[in-house]
């Protein structure tokens, strides 16, 4: 792709590792997956899909950033390093509510960036991110429905 555009790079860097960036969400989902064996083993596969999907999102974003000449380091566009705001809650109902909020905010953020980008290649990759975030949202809503029947 080799497009040097500091504005696009900053937008993507914030999606990747901003305050509520997708790498933080990945760490959040990975933490939950590691805890799920003890607290809610019935939902192991769903949480595995969540962290695997989120790392795919991170890979898409980091690849674009690097192709644009950026570095995809773990910091925002203002060079504030990632602090990883992870919720260490154990209640599955609360976990799902927090996760849905994170995913829904992520969807809003990536759609916002999509509206600001004119490059077709970047738009195509961001649409893949939207589809992955919608897949995560679907998984979380399915877990929420299962919780109502327990």
The pLDDT of residue 1:
54
On whether residue 96 sits in a domain, the answer given is yes
Distance CA 119, CA 9 (A): 12
Chain length of the chain = 150
Residue 71 lies in a domain: yes
Name the residue with tokens 């939207």: 130
Q: Which pLDDT score is estimated for 144?
A: 93
Distance CA 95, CA 18 (A): 21
Is 1 a member of any domain?
no
pLDDT at 76 > cutoff 70: no
Q: Is residue 83 part of a domain?
A: yes
CATH number, domain with residue 115: 1.20.1260.10
pLDDT of residue 149: 84
Q: What is the pTM of this model?
A: 0.90
pLDDT tens figures, 45-58: 999 999 999 999 99
How many structural domains does the chain have?
Answer: 1
- pLDDT, one tens digit per residue, over 61-71 is 999 999 988 88
Q: Average pLDDT of 81-110?
A: 85
Give the pair of three-digit tokens for residue 70.
């950026």
**What residue numbers bound the domain in which 144 lies?**
6-149
Contact criterion met (CB below 8 Å) for 61 and 109: no
Give the pLDDT of residue 75: 67
User: Does residue 140 lie within any of the structural domains?
Assistant: yes
Q: pLDDT value at position 19?
A: 77
């Amino acid at each position: 792709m080799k497009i040097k555009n500091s504005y696009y790079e900053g937008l993507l860097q914030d999606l990747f590792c901003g305050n509520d960036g997708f790498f933080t969400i990945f760490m959040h989902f990975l933490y939950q997956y590691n805890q799920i064996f003890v607290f809610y083993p019935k939902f192991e596969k769903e949480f595995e899909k969540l962290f695997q999907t989120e790392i795919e999102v991170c890979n898409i974003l980091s690849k674009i950033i690097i192709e644009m000449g950026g570095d995809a380091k773990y910091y925002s566009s203002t060079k504030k390093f990632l602090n990883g705001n992870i919720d260490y809650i154990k209640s599955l109902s609360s976990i799902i509510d927090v996760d849905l909020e994170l995913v829904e905010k992520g969807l809003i953020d990536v759609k916002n960036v999509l509206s600001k980008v004119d490059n077709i290649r970047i738009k195509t990759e961001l649409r893949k991110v939207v589809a992955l975030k919608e897949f995560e949202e679907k998984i979380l809503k399915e877990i929420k429905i299962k919780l109502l029947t327990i």
